[in-house]
Amino acid sequence: MPADLDAAADELYGAAREDFTPRRKELAKEAKADGDAKLAAAIEKLAKPTTSAYLANQLARDPDADVDEVADLGEAFREAHANLAGADLRSLSQRRTKLVNTLVQQAGKLNGAPLTEGVTRELEEIFTTAIADPEVARVVIAGRLTSAKDLDAAAAAWPSADPAKATGVVPKRAPKAPKKERTAREDAELERKRATARQELDDARAAVKEAEADRKEEERILAETQKAADAATERVRRIYEELDAAEAEEKEARRRAGSASRSVKDAERRAGQAWRLVQQAEHKLEDLGK
């Protein structure tokens, strides 16, 4: 890798995002003018960072930000895993959540505007991966990210990235002390912790089996109750259909009854008229007989 590529990358990834492309072109042109075609080509290949990567790079250059803590927390995680320290892992998981949330909030302040859901999700992925992978942490702290995707490739692309040289910010963490030999008491304590962790693992597995059995039983009950509910729904549907049919029959019967009632009244009226005619005829016959 050309010696000046680190300096060019540090300038580009530390500058405003909108200045990246024109400044990259200028730096490549300067390298060509100096006769270093290899450096010019390498500079031209430097990718413009996405919004999330840009914000992570700016945090790496902010002495008040907590980006350097991802390396400390990652080292603590790896030691806890090596020692099978279950309690420590749970505590570290809480610290990881808090640190990632803090870094995202700090990125939001640098952004000067609310972060979109996509940018927030990518920042969380960047910092979570950096805690898990020391090589990714090195590149994140150096401020050389271009994207939240394929962070392993980003780490491999910058084998020479030195956080202190690249950002001008001296890491806050102190040099790691040489690892001393464990005493018999420490070995016994470590074995006790391992036994506790194994017991916790066994208990957790037993709890999982019990929970799975409970889940299956609840699923069976749910299936039965759902079946009963479906049958009840079907019965209700049939009852409503029968009710609709009965209401229609009742309506038709009442219509026919009304029609018959009107017919009876009409017949009574005609009978009355006929009866009056009979009386009139009888009166007339009686008058003729006199």
- pLDDT for the residue numbered 164: 56
Tell me the whole-structure pTM to 2 decimals: 0.56
Check: CB of residue 77 under 8 Å from CB of residue 89.
yes
Give every CB contact of residue 129 below 8 A, 6+ residues apart in sequence: 136, 151
Residues 188 and 184: their CA atoms lie apart, in Å, by: 6
Which of 92-101, 189-198, 271-280 shows the lowest per-residue confidence on average (mean pLDDT)?
189-198
Give every CB contact of residue 47 below 8 A, 6+ residues apart in sequence: 146, 147
Give every CB contact of residue 114 below 8 A, 6+ residues apart in sequence: 108
- pLDDT for the residue numbered 168: 45
End-to-end Cα, the chain, rounded Å: 151
Question: Using one digit for the tens of pLDDT, what is the confidence trace for 93-133?
Answer: 999 999 999 999 999 998 888 999 999 999 999 999 999 99
Residues 179 and 110: their CA atoms lie apart, in Å, by: 39
SS (H, E, C) 34-75: CCCHHHHHHHHCCCCCCHHHHHHHHHHCCCCCCCCHHHHHHH
Q: Residue 235's Cα: distance from chain center in Å?
A: 41
Check: CB of residue 99 under 8 Å from CB of residue 70.
yes
Check: CB of residue 65 under 8 Å from CB of residue 106.
yes
Tell me the pLDDT of the chain averaged across its residues: 82
- pLDDT for the residue numbered 169: 45
- The total number of residues shown for the chain amounts to 290
- pLDDT for the residue numbered 27: 93
By percentage, how much of the chain surpasses pLDDT 90?
A: 40
Instruction: Find which of 34-38, 202-206, 260-264 is predicted with most confidence, using mean pLDDT.
Output: 34-38
Exposure on the CB side of residue 37, measured as CA atoms within 13 A? 0
Instruction: Find which of 14-18, 175-179, 184-188 is predicted with most confidence, using mean pLDDT.
Output: 14-18
